[in-house]
A and B are shown apart, each in its own frame.
Chain A
């Protein structure tokens, strides 16, 4: 009834090719932005920020990054954790070497450094594909973690081998360190998330995204119609790693504040982000958010219901949490292999016809 194209006339090409062609979607998008930027910050406390919003936002960036590589360009990567570690350690080195430079610059630079490392490890993708590429990126994961553990220069020779983010301010407001306000770190991450999503969305529906998708769907055919696999694959690796690096940088500097590479950026992290995009939906920006929300919020929700709500022993709740999350992943993959994004798409199709489906 209200969710349809009818009556919404585009008068320019620009209007015709906008991200949200349906008026309702557009208003919903503005409403979400308004709530996220102008309303949520007033209701935040430490718990909501540190347990829910920061992990959700930061994992969303990582999922967007991996989705560009795996979902759009079809290159399976198990190196996400390692690339996040590159972002984290790059920020750490930059933060401690140039304390007077703004954190925004450091985080973008860290993304750039990760992009470079990503391209380096993306080179084998020109020769190998599928499972073999997954193994090559797995090597990147282990190599990078080993490197950051092995070379003391990366952690400024600290006795514990940990990196700690010192306090840095943006416009006089602390955004890293211990004395941060919940709203400040939330908004700081939210800006990065919103920009990442807009950039990724526009990249993927432009010429570059079409090249990626051509490579994903059939690389030989893509090459024949004039897509250069070298630039397409390497640009996917670079841009994907950039986002993953930014998320790693935020993860370390804003969210955790102290990081131990083997534990925080281990292989588990790579799988977690991969699960996020598989459950959320491969090749969908919305899917990245949905997957991140699913895997970040569900365990917290289950814990709060089982332990705080029902008063169960923590160990039983923790084990049950594994079973429920694992079970739901399997159910999802069987019932909806294209992820939560596909459910969303179906809902939109239905909504478009509602209430007269014929």
Chain B
């Protein structure tokens, strides 16, 4: 009774004050340019999840949510402009969905004390939270992806890939170059031969790379592609009749938009995934009821349930759970930017929590700590079935080879610390 009265008083107070405190998030999205085909579904999923929380639950912990969208076109200059334009609004966390923009923002968010969450992209060594205090890249990063990709090849080859030829087709940018170090280290360990085939921005022209693949016939092709580069690469692979089951993309090269243009022949193409790639989850019923049918969906509203939509939604879910954690730690619902960083650092995603959100089994359970900002790096392999028009997860979620990755993380984050005169600490 007392509680009811209290909440009634609070509700009355809230109603009486028109200007409520809001939790502000940013969506540095891109719906235009050469990367728009992949940027749109992610942005829609990200925005829709926040809309769902707002419409169904009235926000997070009773605080309403405000999301500021800003178009970056995957361009770092525009990304900087967006960051500067929105940071004054008290944005709690940034998720730029661009490795290039992430590199821009790391020093800026460090100086401004704002959290940066780069889920499955960005600077891999940000996993070392002792140096990158407010940068988070859980639940998986590129080096996890490279390692699990090689593990998958080991699995299907009975544990031995000595002497195999593996080609890496990559976007010639910070993003595409990230896995190279790991793949080189792994090639020393497992004895495969690595060929590097860079594709320049934006990636529409890949004839020479695929000619080389046709000539050298590598046993496996890995791809680190994004935007228009993905469908072009898959089409080229089909054109040279490369066996699709030996062609594995990173998670950013594994959406419907990438494989559909190549038609039925894209069947068998594999891509890594760090979350579920289908839409059989209870949350989609709510999504339909509160967001899509209510006419509040972001964009055209036609992307619900696609891989990248799911990823955008997953990202928003992790951010909002971090905000909830921050609210619990701070003991108040109107959290500050500093509280949000603590929320990220104490985030625990358990299976029960995921089930309560209507996302049982959607992603792995993991917990974040100051020492580990990158989660456990659990990655699975999905395979495209053009006949059914959907992705199927064909392997278990498995952890990456940390014996190879951890030294690389220590080395790279150590270099960053030395460059910026930081000392690792957790207080």
Contacts and interface: CB of A to CB of B under 8 A. Distances in A.
B56 interface: no
Contacts of A263: 75-76, 100, 173, 201
Given A47-B88, A51-B85, A256-B80, A161 B420 contact: no
The majority secondary structure among interface residues of chain B is helix
B24 interface: no
Contacts of A47: 84-85, 88
A17 interface: no
Interface stretch (B175-183, B212-220, B309-317, B377-385): B175-183
Interface in B27-70: 29, 31-32, 36, 40, 69-70
A81 to B, nearest CB: 12
Contact of B81 (A50, A167, A260): A50
B85 A314 contact: no
B104 A179 contact: no
Interface residues of A, number: 36
A178 B108 contact: yes
B73 interface: yes
A46 B111 CA distance: 12
Contacts of B181: 159
A258 to B, nearest CB: 4
Contacts of B84: 46-47, 50-51
Interface stretch (A60-68, A83-91, A315-323): A315-323
Interface in A261-277: 262-264, 266
Contact of A314 (B69, B100, B201): B69
Given A167-B420, A260-B173, A51 B180 contact: no
Interface string A172-209: 00000111000000000000000000000000000000
B123 interface: yes
A45 B76 CA distance: 20
Contacts, number: 104
A342 interface: no
A235 to B, nearest CB: 32
B87 interface: yes
Contacts of A260: 76, 100, 103, 173-174
B68 to A, nearest CB: 9
A69 B207 CA distance: 36
Interface residues of B, number: 46
B77 A149 contact: no
A162 to B, nearest CB: 5
Contacts of B81: 50-51, 300
Given A50-B84, A162-B103, A263-B173, A314 B77 contact: no
A303 B84 CA distance: 14
Contact of B201 (A159, A258, A262, A303): A262
A55 interface: yes
Interface in B380-427: 408, 412, 415, 419-421
Nearest to A156: B415
A177 B80 CA distance: 14
A161 B174 contact: yes
A22 to B, nearest CB: 38
A160 interface: yes
A41 interface: no
Contact of B198 (A45, A149, A179, A313): A149
A229 interface: no
Contacts of A50: 80-81, 84
B7 interface: no
A314 B71 contact: yes
Given A256-B80, A264-B77, A314-B70, A164 B201 contact: no
B312 to A, nearest CB: 15
Contacts of B99: 160
16 contacts: A149-B172, A159-B181, A160-B177, A161-B174, A164-B419, A166-B420, A177-B107, A177-B420, A257-B104, A258-B107, A260-B174, A262-B201, A307-B71, A315-B36, A315-B299, A319-B32
Given A160-B123, A315-B36, 8 more contacts: A46-B87, A50-B84, A55-B77, A159-B180, A260-B174, A314-B29, A315-B71, A318-B71
Closest 5 CB pairs of A and B: A178-B107, A315-B31, A160-B174, A178-B111, A314-B71
